[in-house]
Amino acid sequence: MKLSKLVISICAVATISTASSNVFAAGETVPVKAMADALHLVMDSDRTIYTRKIVNRLVKKEKVIKASEHFDDDKALVLPAQMFRFGAELVQKRAKKLPDVNFSYSLQSLWPINKQNAPKTKAEKDGLKYVADNKGKNYYTEETLGGQKYFTAVYADTGVAPVCVSCHNKHKDTPKDDFKIGDVMGGVVIRIPIGG
């Protein structure tokens, strides 16, 4: 019995090792693109869960609390986009002390409610346009900012819930009021310093 379990385990490990190209040997570093993709997967999943299990559940289904841009004054939940930004700011603060994992990220849009979230650099402008025009594809490039070279990845941010779309369309500062569910409404930009 014990022997059969051991054989199964060995087979399972061997199968996983040979089937997956993402298993790295000890001491091997993760390619920068894979790291960016992994970071985005975590960010996007956390944000999706916050949107679905907290905001949409409590605001739309249970109807027990509001979500508001002015969450302090309105005693409300922070909006998913704000949650994302606060996380990005905390990472920015903490990652500075960890040079080996230094990276930054932000949520931007070609149609931003807060104009400070419009793309600024060429990579951001090209990337946001690319992911809006090419659904399902990401954009990768390199750029130099403030004398530092970065690997920059841009991922589409899609309106998944009715509340995302309706809130953006109705906001008094929105430059676009005809978003539909499934539309690319913006993008997540991740930067990882490269080249020393």
Dihedral sign from CA coordinates of 171, 161, 87, 155: negative
CB closer to other proteins, 2 vs 70? 70
Chain mean position to CA 91: 13
Kindly state the smallest distance separating residue 13's Cβ from other proteins, in Å: 40
Kindly state the smallest distance separating residue 126's Cβ from other proteins, in Å: 14
Single-letter code of the amino acid located at 127? G
CB closer to other proteins, 35 vs 193? 193
Using only C-alpha atoms, what is the Rg of the chain? 20
SS3 content of the chain, % helix, strand, coil (to 5): 50, 20, 35
CB closer to other proteins, 32 vs 160? 32
Q: Which helix (H) or strand (E) holds 113?
A: none
Kindly state the smallest distance separating residue 101's Cβ from other proteins, in Å: 15
d(CA 150, CA 145): 8
CB closer to other proteins, 62 vs 73? 73
Kindly state the smallest distance separating residue 171's Cβ from other proteins, in Å: 9
CB closer to other proteins, 52 vs 183? 183
Kindly state the smallest distance separating residue 4's Cβ from other proteins, in Å: 51
d(CA 32, CA 162): 34
- The strand pairing partners of 108, in sequence order, are 187
Token pair in block for residue 166:
């309706």
Kindly state the smallest distance separating residue 41's Cβ from other proteins, in Å: 21
CB closer to other proteins, 134 vs 148? 148
- Sheet containing strand 139-145, edge to edge, reads 104-108, 184-193, 148-158, 139-145
Interface positions with other proteins (CB under 8 A): 69-70, 72-73, 88-90, 92-93, 96, 104, 106, 115-116, 120-121, 124, 145-148, 150, 170, 172-173, 177, 189, 191, 193
d(CA 37, CA 78): 26
